Amino acid sequence: MKKEVFICLFILSNIIISCQNQDNKQKCTSDEPVTSASTRQNIIFDTDMGSDCDDAGALALLHKYADKGEVNILGVIFSSGKNRYGAGMCDAINTWYGRGDIPLGQYSGNDVGDVNNYYSMQIATDTVRFPHNITDSAEDMLMVYKRILTNQPDSSVTIITVGHPHALYYLINDAEGIDLVRKKVQKCISMAGTGTQPGECWNFTKCGVAPYISDILERLPTAHYFSGAGTDVLTGHKLLPSTPENNPVREAYRLFGNSISNGRPSWDQIATLFAVKPELYSIDSIGSLVKNEDNKTYWDKNRNNHRHKKVIPLVPAIELEKMIEELMAEAPAGKTD
């Protein structure tokens, strides 16, 4: 009997030691975030990069969440056809963060977009200071959208639009494209004017995009979330100035109205953040985003579209500023200078 008890105790002690060793082994592993592939957000980022610097800040946020294992950036779409250098600007940011191989699409038309050069041409053409490969030409955006979506699991993709979203118009008016949206896209998040009174909306009504919007609002066959917050969330002027001068995001803020000193509203970052941290927002499901005949948008509480949702940050502006600024200023994974 004593022998049997001894054997049992011996076995039990080995089990305990084994468990302790396994626990210690896990504690001693790399402190890199452990996130399963199934919990990462698969994101296509659609931007009019160059018309404001918050687009650059929003793309920086996505890259930092990718560094943390919370996001897969499937592709970047540049929506402007009137200034071609935004494609190069997107490539410069992707390359800065070590992801220069991200698929990049561009609008091949010339009826939509901002003609002004605030920073995109300066950065896109300076491939010495800001190393990257693309300057002003990328593959057609519709082809890139369809190829990316084809290769993704069903109901797994989030599309974020922080610029003119007319690529969605071409997707839903393409037989293969609309089928892919139905099968592959879980939701779309758009930065747009969401006030209850009609107002001008750069992304949805300016620079030639207005004729495309009503069709998107009425026919996009997926949940569509709209974010209009960010005016009171100023970023880009606290920690970002201390980053290296060859950081293309820093340079975008410097060139765009000296926002590196003055700060800039974080409209695009607020919309982008919702994709990764939805718990920081409330969701209004009663109503619909509408574009009226005067090309103004507003949230109409009396016209319900079950696919439309309005998102509103729950946390104070000062907390959002801190969160966004820290992410924008954090060095890319693996970079030491």
End-to-end CA distance of the chain: give it in Å, rounded. Answer: 68
- Tokens for 160, please give them: 């974020």
Give the whole-angstrom CA distance, residue 124 versus residue 156.
32
Mean pLDDT by 10 residues, the chain (337 residues): 41 42 37 56 97 98 98 97 95 98 97 95 98 97 98 98 98 98 98 95 96 97 98 98 98 98 98 98 97 95 96 98 98 81
pLDDT score for 39: 83
pLDDT score for 337: 57
Give the whole-angstrom CA distance, residue 272 versus residue 264.
16
In order of their start, the domains of the chain are: 38-329 (3.90.245.10)
pLDDT score for 16: 39
pLDDT score for 37: 56
In contact, 62 and 73? CB cutoff 8 Å:
yes
> What count of Cα atoms within 13 Å lies in the side-chain half-sphere of residue 225?
24
